[in-house]
Structure 1
Amino acid sequence: MLQMPMLAGLCLVVAACSTTPPPAQVPAPVAPGWQAPLPHGGSVQDLAQWWTRTGDPLLVELIESAQALSPGLAQARSRIAQARASQVASSAALVPSLDGQASASRGLNEQLRSTATTAQAGLQAYWELDLLGGNAAAKTAADERLAGARVQWHEARVSVAAEVALQTSSLRTCLLQLDVAERDARSREETARLSALSERAGFTAPATAALARASAAEAQARQWQQRTQCDVDTKSLVALTGWEEPRLRARLAAQPAPVASDALFAMAALPAQVLAQRPDVYSAERDVAAASADVGSAQAQRYPRLSLSGSVGAASVRTGGVTTDLTTWTIGPLALSVPLLDGGRRAAQVDAAQARYDEAAALYRARVRQAVSEVEQALARLQGAGERNAIARIAAEGYRASLDATEARWRSGLASLVELEDARRTALAAENALVGLQHERMAAWVALYRAAGGGWNESSTP
């Protein structure tokens, strides 16, 4: 048994050592405000689940279905379970461990020179005194990684919601453009029919009638091309949501796209507030803290380690009808393990942990810069789409009026077919641009939703 002076000396040796991990937080300064204007001053509703306020129940159902089926969310939940298991394992290193042992045997006992039955049972305890905080640092690293894994689950939900919203908007835009293409094809077909009648009556040159037929054929080809694109978009949405295609087509036909709102959710005026809601930034920050704790844990391995063990046991020996019981217990040894020669292995582990910390810190700063840039770009696109919307509407209405007037003049013989086709082509391009701009604006809102973190906060993680 160790004497008290020796025990005190061991404690002093261990206490003289210390670990100095790098800081768990690193600075990543950001601008005091956004350079791009906020949509409507950010004076609309909350960011999280903004799709429930669009007046589009189909979009809500599609997002819920996609999130229920998403492999990304399943993977995120698996990572949470793994991180939680690692946290439990690291926590166990801070408390004593207790193992039970039992055995029984029968054979020749040399001392008694007879056959004997021996049974033993005992408890073995072990506890490493974490004087330098190495095990506590390992638990801190596990805690930080669990926090990072939990927030990645929310990031996966945001990604799925954004993807479904974009695909739904793309499909509905395609269907609107298909309607434009069908109306254009019918109009050109009617023009070709009238030109053919006029040609047979001798009032229209064959070349002019041929131009009308070619224009109608071109419109038919464009219509089929647009229809194919809509079919592809539909099948992509089916794959995302798991819906049956006939059901999806029926719902799309029964529920046309609602009028897009000018403002879907609020945006914080300060970049720091938005960054605090970014799951990836939070996760990167947790990675820095975990890497810092890993450095402290690796440093602790280079210093002496103090452990205490003990045991309690009972044995029974039966031979010749006589049973002998034995009970033993020990406290100790109090063991001190001092690293001497390891070929530089422990020092290399510290260097590796420090390198991982430096990498995590650099990635965190880069993630902050990227997050700010993504928000700024989304705000700029949203502002641009909003400014162009009114202009595009004026252009589409003007070109449509010009087409109607030119068609009336053509029917009266006051305009050539070339003039009519030119007016029709211009009006078609303007109308398609207006429809496409609606999708562009929705895409900008979705990009802003992702860039702003999807309304995450620490209480929203599983």
Structure 2
Amino acid sequence: MNRFLTRTSKAVVSSMIVAAALAGCAVGPDYVAPKTELAPFHNTEAVANRQTTLAAPRLDSWWTGFNDPMLEKVVQRALDQNLSLQAAIARVAQARAAAQAAGAQLLPTVDAGASATAMHQSTNSPLGALASAFPNYSRDQKEYVVGATASWEIDLAGGLRRAKAAARDEEQAAEAAQLGTRITVAADAADAYLQVRGLQARLAVAQDQVDTDARLLELVKARKRLGAADEREVAQSEALLRQARSTVPSLKVALEAQLNRLDVLMGAQPGTYAAELAENPAIIPGVPAIGTGDQPVDVLRRRPDIIAAERHLAATNEQIGVAIADYYPKISLSGALGFDSIRGGQLFSAKSFQPVGTGALQWRLFDFGKVDAEVKQARGTHAEALAQYREAALKATEDVENALMALSQTEVRSQELEQEVAALTRARDLSERAYRAGSITLTDVLDADRLLLVARDDLDATKADSARAAVRTFRALGGGWDVPQQVAQSN
């Protein structure tokens, strides 16, 4: 038995040395990250000239730059409780397990087992009919087996190593996608919060206008009692009041929708946090400064969707090697060491020792047509992933350019509206004084009132849009997570 074990051990060691030498290379193309040449952003100057009192925040925590504690609380709560983010984290765990399983394919597998079998042999079966002719034949038979088996596929062409690398790349893509979900959750929570504040401000304007129009109606009624106004003017004033009141329900509907959206983003049933925001209405937060020194390459290094697309591209490159490896033979070694006996008392004796060694060769020698098709499919998948990566890079720059333009122009519009509201407020006050003095008709006052209501509502909506445009800018720049140094250097 010892001589057999010695010969078997030498054969196994020799096979492992030969396999290691043969497995030194892996077929298929080595991955080279794509180079994307992009011109500098052309809308940065418009944002660089912005006037703001708030400093530029760190890009990984941009929501702190709005100087709004409630906004920070809302975003952090969403990051802690959002269900889409939890699902993305679970997908990362799945990808990590798949990568671990792919790596395990390179290692030998060892299984241990034991069995005990008792059988009452049929004398009508071929074996039973033959054995029953011998003297002292017993139909009652037992067998005891204890041992361990091992198997190992030698990765001659490197297909298993390519599969491991592809699984690792997909794991990294899943991690990047999870970071992308984090950015989306933070941006969506901030967007919903800013819409809530904008709608609350617009409701306050509408209510202020209702109060103003109600006072105007009382003034007209008083003038009518004095004979200085007629029923037509009373009807006009009442219509204006009704018009102001009619804007309130639609604003409340929109506000409720955003509050419910915010609750879902924070992983809560709609209505959970609505009261907290309703009890503490605040002004629309100001927009912080935004750094404009980033070039497109900086954005591509930072944005998780680009990182995910590049990692998926790398995985498809490895899959080409996996497909090409099927052109080559596959060799596997297997062996078993154990004991097999029909008597339990003799199971662990030298006579019961039963080693087995097997070498197997598998080669798709007459299936190269199918292998050709699989390689072509893998190359096509890689070409598709490359086109998707390049398109994602272009869309990333599109997002940045659109966000920068939207931010600069909404702020310009907001500044113009502030001047318009100031002018219309003076005109409205002067009109009311002139009407009290009898210098102008009520129609002039009503016109001034309507124009002021529209302008004030538009101003608050535009202020909210400016803040939301800033959120889109931070999101387009890839802000919302801390870029590790090795990631920045690898792209």
TM over 0.5: yes
Q: Which residue of structure 2 aligns with residue 326 of structure 1?
A: 352
1:48 partner SS:
helix
Q: Which residue of structure 1 aligns with residue 94 of structure 2?
A: 82
Q: Which residue identity does 1:113 align to in structure 2?
A: Y
Q: Which residue of structure 2 aligns with residue 20 of structure 1?
A: 28
Cα pair 1:21 1:296 within 8 Å, conserved: yes
Distance 2:480 2:247 in 1: 41
Q: Which range moved further: 440-449 or 232-241?
A: 232-241
Q: CA deviation at 1:244?
A: 6.7
Q: Which range moved further: 422-431 or 335-344?
A: 335-344
Q: Find the partner of 2:137 among 105, 113, 123.
A: 113
Instruction: Classify 1:78/1:18 alpha carbon distance in 2 versus 1 (closer, same or farther; 3 Å).
Output: closer
Q: Which residue of structure 2 aligns with residue 300 of structure 1?
A: 325
The total of aligned residue pairs comes to 456
| CA RMSD, Structure 1 to Structure 2 (Å) | 3.2
Show the 5 A alignment for 1:179-258: 179-241=204-266, 242=268, 245=271, 248-254=274-280, 256-257=282-283
Q: CA deviation at 1:32?
A: 3.9
Q: Which residue of structure 1 aligns with residue 412 of structure 2?
A: 387
Show the 5 A alignment for 1:152-163: 152-163=177-188
Q: Find the partner of 2:300 among 275, 295, 299.
A: 275
Q: CA deviation at 1:87?
A: 0.6
1:122 aligns to 2:144 (yes or no):
no
Show the 5 A alignment for 1:161-180: 161-180=186-205
Q: CA deviation at 1:145?
A: 0.3
Cα pair 1:34 1:270 within 8 Å, conserved: no
Q: Structure 1, residues 403-441: CA drift from partner, whole Å, max 9, x if none?
A: 111111111111211111111122222212221121111
Cα pair 1:116 1:318 within 8 Å, conserved: no
Structure 1 unpaired stretches of 5+: none
Distance 1:37 1:166 in 2: 25
Q: Which residue of structure 1 aligns with residue 70 of structure 2?
A: 58
Instruction: Classify 1:178/1:258 alpha carbon distance in 2 versus 1 (closer, same or farther; 3 Å).
Output: closer
Q: CA deviation at 1:34?
A: 4.3
Show the 5 A alignment for 1:343-358: 344-358=369-383
Q: CA deviation at 1:392?
A: 2.1
2:74 partner SS:
helix
Q: CA deviation at 1:326?
A: 1.3
Q: Structure 1, residues 12-65: CA drift from partner, whole Å, max 9, x if none?
A: x97899733374422322114544327448972211122234332222222233
Instruction: Classify 1:262/1:80 alpha carbon distance in 2 versus 1 (closer, same or farther; 3 Å).
Output: closer
Cα pair 2:285 2:467 within 8 Å, conserved: no
Cα pair 1:47 1:267 within 8 Å, conserved: no
Cα pair 2:310 2:389 within 8 Å, conserved: yes
Cα pair 1:385 1:440 within 8 Å, conserved: yes
Cα pair 1:138 1:293 within 8 Å, conserved: yes
Cα pair 1:14 1:303 within 8 Å, conserved: no
1:68 aligns to 2:80 (yes or no):
yes
Distance 1:298 1:134 in 2: 7
Q: CA deviation at 1:297?
A: 0.4
Q: Which residue of structure 1 aligns with residue 157 of structure 2?
A: 132
Instruction: Classify 1:258/1:425 alpha carbon distance in 2 versus 1 (closer, same or farther; 3 Å).
Output: closer
Q: Which residue identity does 2:85 align to in structure 1?
A: L
Q: CA deviation at 1:458?
A: 5.3
Cα pair 1:118 1:317 within 8 Å, conserved: yes
Cα pair 2:330 2:361 within 8 Å, conserved: yes
Identical aligned residues as a percent: 27
1:204 partner SS:
coil
Instruction: Classify 1:48/1:106 alpha carbon distance in 2 versus 1 (closer, same or farther; 3 Å).
Output: same
Q: Find the partner of 1:37 among 37, 45, 49.
A: 45
Q: Find the partner of 2:465 among 431, 437, 440.
A: 440
Instruction: Classify 1:24/1:291 alpha carbon distance in 2 versus 1 (closer, same or farther; 3 Å).
Output: farther
Q: Which residue identity does 1:201 align to in structure 2?
A: L
1:294 partner SS:
helix
Instruction: Classify 1:330/1:286 alpha carbon distance in 2 versus 1 (closer, same or farther; 3 Å).
Output: same
Distance 2:456 2:59 in 1: 31
Q: Which residue identity does 1:388 align to in structure 2?
A: R
Cα pair 2:284 2:463 within 8 Å, conserved: no
Cα pair 2:287 2:466 within 8 Å, conserved: no
Distance 2:366 2:106 in 1: 27
Distance 1:38 1:47 in 2: 19
1:96 aligns to 2:108 (yes or no):
yes
1:369 aligns to 2:385 (yes or no):
no
Cα pair 1:192 1:209 within 8 Å, conserved: yes
1:407 aligns to 2:415 (yes or no):
no
Instruction: Classify 1:202/1:366 alpha carbon distance in 2 versus 1 (closer, same or farther; 3 Å).
Output: same
Structure 2 unpaired stretches of 5+: 1-7, 122-130, 487-491
Instruction: Classify 1:220/1:386 alpha carbon distance in 2 versus 1 (closer, same or farther; 3 Å).
Output: closer
Distance 2:22 2:346 in 1: 51
Distance 1:47 1:181 in 2: 36
Q: Which range moved further: 407-416 or 219-228?
A: 219-228
Distance 1:92 1:367 in 2: 33
Distance 1:216 1:108 in 2: 100
Q: Structure 1, residues 318-343: CA drift from partner, whole Å, max 9, x if none?
A: 28x8776411324442x332222237
Q: Which residue identity does 1:410 align to in structure 2?
A: Y
Q: Which residue identity does 2:34 align to in structure 1?
A: V
